[in-house]
Amino acid sequence: MKNNKSKFSKYLVSGVAALALAAGAAGSASAAENGKFRVGIVTFLSGPAAGPFGVPSANAAKVLVEELNKGNLPAPYDKIGINGAEIEAVIIDEAGGATKQVEEYRNLVQRQKVDAVIGYVSSGDCLAIAPVAEELKTFTIAYDCGTPRLFADNPDAQYMFRTGLDASVDNIGAVRYLAATRPDVTRLAGIQQNYSWGQDSWADFTAAASALLPEAEVVEEQFPKIYQGQYGAEISALSVKRPEIVHSSFWGGDMEALVLQANARGLLEDATGLLTCGEASFATYKDQAPNGMIIGARGPFGQFAPDNELNTWFEGVYQNAYDLEPVYPATKMAQAILGLKYAAENAGVADKEIPSAEQLAAAMKGATFESVSGTVEMARGNGHQAMQGITYGEYHYEDGVASIKNAVSFDGECVTPPEGVAAADWIADGFPGAKCN
Amino acid sequence: MRLDKTEISLGLVALACVLFGFVSPGWLIFLLTIALAKALVVQGVVMQMRSGLVSFGQGLFYCIGGYTVGMGGQFFGIHDAIAALSLGMFVAIVVAMLLGLLLTRYREIFFAMLSLAFSMILFGILVKSQELGSTDGFNVHDWTLFGWAPEAGAGSQHTVFTMTVVSGLIVAVLIHRYTKAGIGVICEAVRENEVRVEYLGLSPRWLLYGNYVAAAAVSALGGGLTALATGHVDPEMAYWTTSGEFVFIALLGGLGHVAAPFIAAIVFSFVRTYAIEFVPHTWQMILGFTLLAVIIFLPKGLWSLVSREKTGERA
């Protein structure tokens, strides 16, 4: 027995020694001093958010990086790679929760030595990453997550940026669209996934509706759990209240299931559906969604992206590579990469040199850059949060072709709370300072 | 107090780990901190496995530990790490003392499912609590240690790492003594034949009850340390996949030795992080195959690699 114990302790000691050696080897093997610009791309590659969000985003990143390295983009992004340095993308999976993402973020920065990180669909992941980005002093762009708490909880952020819009903009925009196109609606209902995203979306929507549609009342609200898939009971509960508008912040498979089931049950014939994330499934609805259903893309993205040279080019290469039109998560990923490229090329460093995180952050803060979605102003969150307009429109499907009709756009100043004002307060005060066209 | 050889080697390894922390890169310290903190929760699972119960809801206490540390700092002004961790353990013990009264009446799959159910109830409550950030959770920061605030970044990372190693050492020594003591051996007897244990004049139920409460405290400590290291807590900590991960690591390590969960947790973290790096689209498959290989070739876990050679027979 004694002999065994000492043998065992040898094992433990040698195990730790092996670990140390392995770690040392791994650390040196991936130190990238090869002159390339390494970008960590984090998005869902597995799980329910992969299909609607993660895969289109990762695909957009791949095709854009490839084309950037060839220098194929239109001006002002025609320089090869980022600031002349070839881009090397490290794509990792966002699935697995915030603790794991913090671990993987540290691995990206400290082991893989990336120069910048772009990513995060989940708001929980964004909130967990923000303090770590500051700690590790790494230039980080959140490209999709929607929580308004990102810069409210981290007011002194220096290295964290967000090129997408926050979720209150979606719902203020949705109410503005109703006020502009259907000012007489009186009966509103909602169905949301029961987690932060759904709860926050519904709170913003109902608050904005009581300010802009004073005649309207909320007749029913349903909060089924996320990934439930079957909404028979909820659809019945909504139907009996005879709403005119059914608002939903559903996304992905849940949203497609809801549209399919609500349409079959006649709910969407009597009431108009309003889906704030509806554009993400634009290509897959076909005739299963009713004509006239209102859809949004969380900003001027996807189908709602303007006809500018950059976007036409982007749609072309994306379509060539994947035989699909880019949906909004793809456009948003492209926007974040272009934002990074803009920051690097305006950081005041020599050609082919990779700017430091401080230089990138200084160039990005408060910047105005051209993107696939038009002009982006980093005008909120102390220069860290993008401000853009938002567009809503109606889905129409005729003769095998899907299109958007009656699209209405609202300026950024019309749907975004002023600097330093929380969305809830701004809505409650009746949108002071809003500039609408 | 006399230390046996296992305790001395555990102490030496812990010391080596702390020293190693000063020379290793930040990502590795973080990975080890999380792995060791999770290993504490796994210790809780293993404690119960040894007496024949598989808890699929250990995430309940992991989450209670994490949220108590987070809420202590956020709402109740408890910034001292030791106080917050102790409070987390205390809350877990109170909850476990209540739930244990019901749970210890069940065995096998019924125990597993009931423990899972309680963990999912906590998940449901947290998701409904918008003040606690619902599914997004909230940040944990500004903690101190006996009034001393470690500097942000590397300083606080080292502090949590050292705290985790020290907690791991204390828990490991206590569990080691427990398993070697008469009462620990009876735990195995309960697994083998509960009726016989009763004939010996002992109450298996109260034995399991004590075991359950102790496992809860150890798991809450792991949760609290994870919260301090990550700087963020969310309801995912109580979700069944998290509890499943603890069972996975427990099976990976085996019940052979108190060090097995620590080694398994570290192996698990390394396999996962390199799988994510090298095969980002199919990393779950690598993890699955690893477990499958362990179950097929090492049915008593990674520890049988050590014990097989020791006793000169196949595990």
Q: What is the DSSP string of A78-101?
A: -SSTBTTBPEEEEEEE-TT-HHHH
* Minimum CA–CA partner of B309 in chain A: A4
The predicted pLDDT at position A21 comes to 47
Please compute the mean of the pLDDT values over residues B236-261 and round it to a whole number: 89
Q: Give the gap in angstroms from C-alpha A260 to the nearest C-alpha of chain B.
A: 27
A37-165+305-387 in CATH: which number? Answer: 3.40.50.2300
Percent of chain A whose pLDDT exceeds 70: 92
The predicted pLDDT at position B309 comes to 58
B280 to A91: CB separation less than 8 angstroms, yes or no: yes
Cβ contacts (< 8 Å) between A5 and chain B: which residues?
Answer: 4-6, 9
Give A159-181 pLDDT, tens digit per residue.
999 999 988 999 999 999 999 99
Give A47-86 pLDDT, tens digit per residue.
888 888 889 999 999 999 999 999 888 888 888 888 888 9
Give yes or no for A13 touching B (CB within 8 A).
Answer: yes
Element (H, E) at A37: strand A37-43
Token pair of B229 as six digits: 């290291």
CB pairs under 8 A between A and B: 149
Burial class (CB in 10 A: 0-12, 13-18, 19+), A241: middle
The predicted pLDDT at position B311 comes to 54
Q: Is the pLDDT of residue A20 over 50?
A: no
Give yes or no for B279 touching A (CB within 8 A).
Answer: no
Nearest residue to A116 via CA among A152, A87, A75, A153:
A87
B25 to A23: CB separation less than 8 angstroms, yes or no: yes
Give A327-351 pLDDT, tens digit per residue.
899 999 999 999 999 999 998 888 8
Cβ contacts (< 8 Å) between A123 and chain B: which residues?
Answer: 135-136
Cβ contacts (< 8 Å) between A13 and chain B: which residues?
Answer: 9, 12-13, 16
Q: Is the pLDDT of residue A279 over 50?
A: yes
The predicted pLDDT at position A225 comes to 87
A432 three-class SS: coil
The predicted pLDDT at position A195 comes to 87
Q: How many other CB atoms are found less than 10 A from the CB of residue A295?
A: 27
Give A374-407 pLDDT, tens digit per residue.
899 998 888 999 999 999 999 999 888 888 989 9
Q: What is the DSSP string of B185-215?
A: HHHHHHHH-HHHHHHTT--HHHHHHHHHHHH
Q: Give the gap in angstroms from C-alpha A346 to the nearest C-alpha of chain B.
A: 29
The predicted pLDDT at position A11 comes to 54
Q: Is the pLDDT of residue B185 over 90?
A: no
Residues composing chain A = 437
Model pTM? 0.84
Give A257-271 pLDDT, tens digit per residue.
999 999 888 888 889
At residue A199, φ and ψ (nearest 5 deg) are -65, -45
Cβ contacts (< 8 Å) between A198 and chain B: which residues?
Answer: none
pLDDT grade for A24, boundaries at 50, 70 and 90 = very low
Q: Give the gap in angstroms from C-alpha A199 to the nearest C-alpha of chain B.
A: 8
Question: Which residue reads 């290291």 in tokens?
Answer: B229
The predicted pLDDT at position A19 comes to 52
Q: Domain spans of chain B?
A: 5-314
Q: Which CATH superfamily does the domain covering A168-303+389-429 fall into? A: Response regulator (3.40.50.2300)
Give B191-234 pLDDT, tens digit per residue.
888 888 889 888 888 889 999 999 999 999 999 999 998 888 98
* Rounded distance between C-alpha atoms, residue A283 and residue A401, angstroms: 10
Q: Is the pLDDT of residue A317 over 90?
A: yes
Mean residue pLDDT of chain B comes to 87
B266 to A196: CB separation less than 8 angstroms, yes or no: no
A436 or B66: which carries more pLDDT confidence? B66
**Cβ atoms of B50 and B255 closer than 8 Å:** yes
Facing A104 at nearest CB: one of B13, B130, B276: B276
Listed in order, the ranges of chain A carrying CATH 3.40.50.2300 are 37-165+305-387, 168-303+389-429
Give yes or no for A286 touching B (CB within 8 A).
Answer: no
Give ipTM to 2 decimals.
0.81
* Rounded distance between C-alpha atoms, residue A281 and residue A263, angstroms: 15
Question: Which residue reads 């942000």 in tokens?
Answer: B152
